Structure 1
Amino acid sequence: MAQVKWSLDPMHSEITFKVKHLMISTVTGRFNSFAVNAVTEGDDFSKPANVDVSIDVSSIDTNNEQRDGHLKSDDFFSAANHNHITFKSTKIENNGDEGKVYGDLTIKGITKPVVLNVENGGVVVDPYGQTKAGFTVTGKVSRKEFGLTWSAVTEAGSVVVGDEIKFTAEIQLIKQA
């Protein structure tokens, strides 16, 4: 069976994340620039694929320039020294419409194994003749495990930024010729 290459359709894809603020509300952010490349055996994702993701840290957007600047600083992502977050799959379990992707996530130069949940939306040919595949990927990580350890406590003892980061990626891939 021939290997097929897939690349990101950035117009129909997004990566968002959520983190607790003061442990009473949730702040949502996104990365506006990222790449996803996959290789499959055959024309669909029924056989395991290799997936590589690269996220441009400087594209972080929480709808607040001051907070975004703080997130890019050495307190968090240290974007000047670690300009990309990467994920490389090591194993994929495909159970039809749902599955899991195991891989190595690197943030701020620290690599840890993670397991992501994947909802397979299917493969279709769009009106322009391009074959596209859609996925919803979800997961959560401890920011402190990746060296994002900045913290502050309010006078009342509340933590300013939660440790658990939940993220969702809505990904559409285009089959390459």
Structure 2
Amino acid sequence: MNIPFLRAVALAAALGLGALGNASAAVYTALDTDASSVTFGYSQMNVSMDGSFGKIKATEFNFDPQNPEAAKVTIEIALASIDAGYEEANAELEKDEWLALGQHPLATFTSKKVEALTNGYQVIGDLSIKGKTKEVTVPFSFKEHGNTGVFEGSFTFHRADFGVGEGQWKDFSIVANDIAIKFNIVAKP
């Protein structure tokens, strides 16, 4: 038996299987808007409230699990799709003191850097709301499920940093300054 020949065949087979494994690795480039969700939580007069956004889209989305540091994402949220829990609150949020939807219909997040951590990832990027932009750091997890990739995470920002809740609404004893965002983003190759 020719041992060098068997070694060469085994090496070729291993390299071929490795190439097949890499070839099937998905790069996620599209947001599944129907399966994705962005929710928020806040405190109004010391009562916890929850809300959600009905319309989100990605104008840029690219995540390769083999090279997460090269990821790029830009997410837009149509603020008119907000549901703060009841119609009166939704109507109030349209006003200039809150979200000023006439002048600022979108909230956006644009990534600047993605980092792999020991137990997940984090993305650093610019959050823009109501014409103001602040850098935020957002930890997230990523899991593949069949033909989709699922990104889950949460972060908190201060509404005052974006001028959300002006005039009499600057009083944080009525509506707290902290707004907690949770997301479940489903992406496809």
* TM-score above 0.5: yes
Gaps of 5+ in 2: 1-21
Alignment of 1:106 onto 2:120: no
Q: 1:91 to 1:158 in 2, by over 3 A?
A: closer
SS at match of 1:85: strand
Question: Does the residue aligned with 1:76 lie in a helix, a strand or coil?
Answer: coil
TM-score normalized with structure 2 length:
0.78
TM-score (norm 1): 0.83
Residue aligning to 2:153: 137
Whichever structure has more strand as a proportion of its residues is 1
**CA 1:94–1:69 in structure 2 vs 1: closer, same or farther (change >3 Å)?**
same
In structure 2, do the counterparts of structure 1 residues 84 and 96 end up closer, same or farther at CA, with 3 Å as the change threshold? Answer: same
Give the aligned partner of residue 123 of structure 1: 144
Unpaired stretches in structure 1, ≥5 consecutive residues: 126-130
Matched residue count: 163
Aligned to 1:128: none
Does the CA-based 8 Å contact 2:156-2:179 persist in structure 1?
yes
Q: CA deviation at 1:123?
A: 1.8
Q: Spell out structure 1 runs of 4+ moving beyond 3 A.
A: 1-5
Partner of 2:176: 162
Aligned residue for 1:106, secondary structure, equals strand
> What's the counterpart of residue 82 of structure 1?
104
The CA RMSD over aligned residues, in Å, is: 2.3
Mark the structure with the bigger radius of gyration.
2
Determine the C-alpha separation between the residues in 2 that align with 1:168 and 1:16. Answer: 5
Shift of 1:13: 1.2
Percentage identity across paired residues of the two chains:
25
Residue 146 of structure 1: CA displacement? 0.5
* Maintained 8 Å contact 1:77/1:108: yes
Find the aligned partners of 1:141 and 1:32 in 2 and give their Cα distance.
Answer: 20
Counting only pairs closer than 5 Å after superposition, residues 1-177 of structure 1 correspond to structure 2 as 4=27, 6-22=29-45, 24-36=46-58, 37-40=60-63, 42=64, 44=65, 46-48=67-69, 49-95=71-117, 97-120=119-142, 122-125=143-146, 131-150=147-166, 152=168, 159-175=173-189
Contact kept? 1:15, 1:168, Cα under 8 Å = yes
1:5 touches 1:38 (CA, 8 Å); kept in 2? yes
- Given that 1:7 and 1:173 are in contact with CA atoms closer than 8 Å, whether structure 2 keeps it comes out as yes
Contact 1:17 1:165 in 2 (8 A): yes
Confirm or deny: 8 A CA contact 1:152 1:160 kept in the other structure.
no
Residues of 2 paired with 1:74 and 1:12: CA distance?
Answer: 31
- Cα shift at 1:149: 3.3
